Amino acid sequence: MTRHGADFAMAEPASADTPVVSFQGVGMRYGRAPEVLRDIDLTLTQGSFHFLTGPSGAGKSSLLKLIYLAHQPSRGLIRLFGQEAATLPRAALPALRRRMGVVFQEYRLLDHLTVFDNAALPLRVAGGRFDEYRQDVIELLAWVGLGHKISAMPATLSGGEKQRLAVARAVVGKPDLLLVDEPTGNVDQEMGRRILRLLKELNRMGSTVLVASHDVALVEESGSPILTLKGGRLGGPQDGPLP
């Protein structure tokens, strides 16, 4: 990963005191259903690393959706990299999304593309040239343990392999903000630690990281601040998950 780290460059870092993510009194609902998130106040400063925990259905994935602009809040104010999300025109979204890497809970791999093409997707979408990114992508895939599966199709991967591919796709563009939904749900402890080390390393190089996870052992072991969702409201950061 050191090779990756060497040319790691931040896309115009916001000034140090501008939070990467800031929520003020944010609510969210699906359709006309009652709000699944209420009165969320949240600030992720640049270079921070947070865990987001909470029982199943608490709204962890929903909160991430708000950040990666896949869903509109029902109220409140969301600022991303200092920009107010609600006022952004459609044409401004791609540039913002390219500064984020997302590992979706359900992976959202493209089934008709090889492992390599899935991992390379963000670079391709950003206009990268195949000859230029090919080597980087191959090395990244080797690092997450998929070097021998480079031309495999996602349908032939195990759950853990899919998860690692999703992680590779999220980090390949060296994003300023990394949103990771259940990164270790399907991998053994060793691979879980490895993924976490990768996220930590990216964090050390400047990425702001938010990891939603059930994995209490992993979360506690990491020693990073923890945000806890319960009943649609946010608690923490605290020293450990709520009892």
Partner 1 sequence: MSFDPRTAETAIERPAPLFPRQFQQDRTLGLVIGVLCFLACLCAVAALASDRAASGWRRELGASATVQVRPKAGETPSEAADRAAEALAGAKGVAEARALDREAAERLLEPWLGKGNIPDDLPLPRLVVVDLDRQHPADAAALNQALSAAGVDASVDDHGRWIADVRRTGDIARAAALGALLLFAMTAGAVIAFATRATLQTQRDVVEVLHLAGAQDRFVVKLVRRRFAILAGQAGLFGAATAAALAALMKLFGGENGLTPVLPLAWIDLLAVLPCPLLAAAVAAIAVRRAAMSILKAA
Ligand X SMILES: Nc1ncnc2c1ncn2[C@@H]1O[C@H](COP(=O)(O)OP(=O)(O)OP(=O)(O)O)[C@@H](O)[C@H]1O
- Reading the block at residue 9, the tokens are 């460059």
CB 235 within 8 A of CB 73: no
The residue whose Cβ lies closest to Mg ion is: 61
Report how far apart, in Å, the C-alpha atoms of 186 and of each of 96, 107, 164, 177 are. Answer: 29, 11, 9, 23
Please tell me whether residue 11 binds partner 1 under the rule CB under 8 A.
Answer: no
Judging by beta carbons within 10 Å of its beta carbon (0-12, 13-18, 19+), is residue 82 exposed, middle or buried?
A: exposed
Among 90, 155, 223, 239, binds partner 1 (CB under 8 A): 90
Q: How far apart are CA 211 and CA 227, in angstroms?
A: 10
Q: Write out the DSSP string of 197-237.
A: HHHHHHHHTT-EEEEE---HHHHHHHT--EEEEETTEEEEE
**What residues are paired with 103 via a beta bridge?**
180
* Range in contact with partner 1 (rule: CB under 8 A) among 81-89, 117-125, 189-197, 226-234: 117-125
* Range in contact with partner 1 (rule: CB under 8 A) among 27-35, 50-58, 118-126, 204-212: 118-126
Minimum CB separation from partner 1 for residue 138, in Å? 5
Minimum CB separation from ligand X for residue 100, in Å? 18
Residue 162: count other Cβ atoms within 10 Å of its Cβ.
Answer: 20
Please tell me whether residue 66 binds partner 1 under the rule CB under 8 A.
Answer: no
Say which residues have a Cβ less than 8 Å from residue 81's Cβ, sequence separation at least 6.
Answer: 14, 18, 20, 96, 99, 176, 177
Among 14, 26, 36, 227, binds ligand X (CB under 6 A): 36
Q: Which of residues 47 and 185 has its CB atom nearest to ligand X in the complex?
A: 185
Q: Which of residues 54 and 122 has its CB atom nearest to ligand X in the complex?
A: 54
Q: What is the contact surface with partner 1 in residues (CB under 8 A)?
A: 68, 70, 90-91, 93-95, 97-98, 102, 108, 110-114, 116-117, 120-122, 124-126, 130, 134-135, 138-139, 141-142, 145, 147-148, 150-151, 169, 173
Residues that bind ligand X (CB under 6 A): 30, 36, 54, 56-62, 105
